[in-house]
Amino acid sequence: MGKLTGFMEVKRKNNPMVTCEERIKNFSEFYTGLPEKERRQQASKCMDCGVPFCQSAMKLSGMVVGCPLHNLIPEWNDELYKGHDRHAFERLIKTNNFPEFTGRVCPALCEKACMCGQWEDSVTVHDNEKYLIETAYEKGYMKPNPPAKRSGKKVAVIGSGPSGLAVAAELNHRGHLVTVFERQDRIGGLLMYGIPNMKLDKKVIFRRQKLMEEEGIVFKTGENIDSAEKVKKLKEEFDAVILCCGAKKARSLPAACQKEDKQNENKLIPGAYMAVDFLTSATKDVLKASDKKSTVPEGENQVTACNIDFKISAAGKHVVVVGGGDTGNDCIGTVIRQGCKSVTALEMMPKPPKERAASNPWPEWPKVLKTDYGHEEAIYKFGKDPRVFETTVKSVNTGKKGEIKSIVTVSLKWEGGKFTEVAGSEKEIPCDMLLIAAGFVGCEDYTADAFGVKLSKRGVVETAEGAFDTSVPGIFTAGDMHRGQSLVVWAIYEGRKCAAEVDRYLIGY
């Protein structure tokens, strides 16, 4: 595949990034592309390795490496190198419904398993994928492809995140009539209101929505299926229903909750917000200039699980982010763009090494320190890495109106199978805004309750292993609501697999 000696001759070259100085001035995407000649050179680096781990999705030491979608990476890299962009695109789209999403936000499990990475830098699979799908849109390869014949079967998809969109696309191509219900004002789930615009421009989602509508899929926004009556009506109208509502029950932070509120144990003190609510508000604020239906008036704090409809701004504030994952990084990048006075990121886990440990060999997922775009911007803006490892919030100090004024942090150590506080390590730091990006603990109960489906101990919809049908006949599930909080690429995988099972249920094969 590719050029026989390409992996020896070509050095990895990532897509260029706009400088920190320029990109923090706006919410525009900050990656640019390589010239066509250099892109083909990067594809030539893909070697005929015999066993392409990049498309394997193997579990090693408890973590998956390689693409869950089993993308035909060596094949389309070969076609890209040879200048056969349309052939390359056709191979790409066979396994991945939405390369424009994964080509922007996927952490590239494929690259971590690339054979070239055993000795030096891996192939730029992620950037090559984005080039192919954007070229396909530009040259007209990517166009509506409605089914030639309809089955007459009707399917309802609840939730329009990546799993819901993948289910809808697959079942529509099989000829079924698909309607997608979304409680927000726009489709996309966390693609729309969880990932900030500079990482995934929302025009990319709007473009895909238009194409899917032209293929015959119906989207109904502002539709929250939250009662037994609504569920009964859906069952009467549709032959199958698929729950793709995500795992949006956020893990709270006890130190930031209002102790006196017995009715709502997770109600946060003023100035503390769940990260997903903050990112939702920020995206709505970015979109409101171009779309009048995006309204984000100033308002009081509340826990809304992404149904937020008021503006949260970090302008002029000392911000503390709790959580060291991708969401925490996105919060850092967002508050900097909003004009925060400072930002600190707290992470419970120890600081990873800069290079692989001997106990973490290729092709295992590399457990190394990752300095992402938000961290880079904080270093540029404030002169230091915002991350503080092995630390958490011990208590919160409030002002006269109960608003957050500062926090007390404490160092942690791992012993006896749990975290314990380090005595005498408390520190007080200023904090006007506290963002909780500590992950999710499962799907929201009300949807599962309305449909009468069982939840597992992990807080997700229970199914048999490897299956997608729930305890209620005709009701299926996929994505984070089925597997728990995960990656966009896994959501697409789940949607495709679930669609195949629903198809067998509807027509027998």
Rounded Cα distance, 245 and 24, in Å: 32
DSSP structure string for 416-445: TTEEEEPTT--EEEE-SEEEE---B-S--H
Task: Name the token pair of 93.
Answer: 């789209």
* Alpha-carbon distances, residue 150 vs 153, 174, 181 (angstroms): 8, 8, 21
Rounded Cα distance, 470 and 364, in Å: 33
Find where tokens 């270093």 sit: 379
- Is 389 in contact with 349 (CB distance < 8 Å)? yes
Q: Measure CA of the first residue to CA of the last residue in the chain; give whole Å.
A: 35
Closest CA to 167 of 244, 113, 229, 219: 244
Rounded Cα distance, 509 and 506, in Å: 8
- pLDDT for the residue 295: 40
- Is 154 in contact with 177 (CB distance < 8 Å)? yes
The low-confidence residues of the chain, meaning pLDDT below 70, are 1-2, 260-265, 289-310
DSSP structure string for 390-424: SEEEEEEEE-TTS-EEEEEEEEEEEETTEEEEPTT
- Is 189 in contact with 101 (CB distance < 8 Å)? no
Rounded Cα distance, 72 and 56, in Å: 10
> Could you count the other beta carbons within 10 Å of the beta carbon of residue 415?
8
- pLDDT for the residue 88: 97
Query: pLDDT of 196-216, one tens digit each?
Result: 999 999 999 999 999 999 999
Rounded Cα distance, 436 and 90, in Å: 41
- pLDDT for the residue 265: 60
Beta bridge partners, 388, equal 346
Grouping H, G, I as helix, E, B as strand and the rest as coil, residue 17 is: strand
Rounded Cα distance, 370 and 362, in Å: 17
In degrees and rounded to multiples of 5, residue 304 shows phi and psi of: -125, -5
Rounded Cα distance, 3 and 145, in Å: 33
- pLDDT for the residue 309: 52
- Is 211 in contact with 179 (CB distance < 8 Å)? no
Grouping H, G, I as helix, E, B as strand and the rest as coil, residue 306 is: coil
- pLDDT for the residue 294: 42
DSSP structure string for 322-371: E--SHHHHHHHHHHHHHT-SEEEEEESSPPPPSS--TTS-TTS-------
Rounded Cα distance, 420 and 298, in Å: 39
Rounded to the nearest 10 degrees, what angle do helices 162-173 and 202-214 cross at? Answer: 20
Residues 6+ apart with CB under 8 A from 144: 211, 214, 215
Closest CA to 267 of 252, 280, 249, 278: 252
> Could you count the other beta carbons within 10 Å of the beta carbon of residue 69?
24
Q: Please, what are the domains in the chain?
A: 6-139 (1.10.1060.10), 154-248+441-507 (3.50.50.60), 254-436 (3.50.50.60)
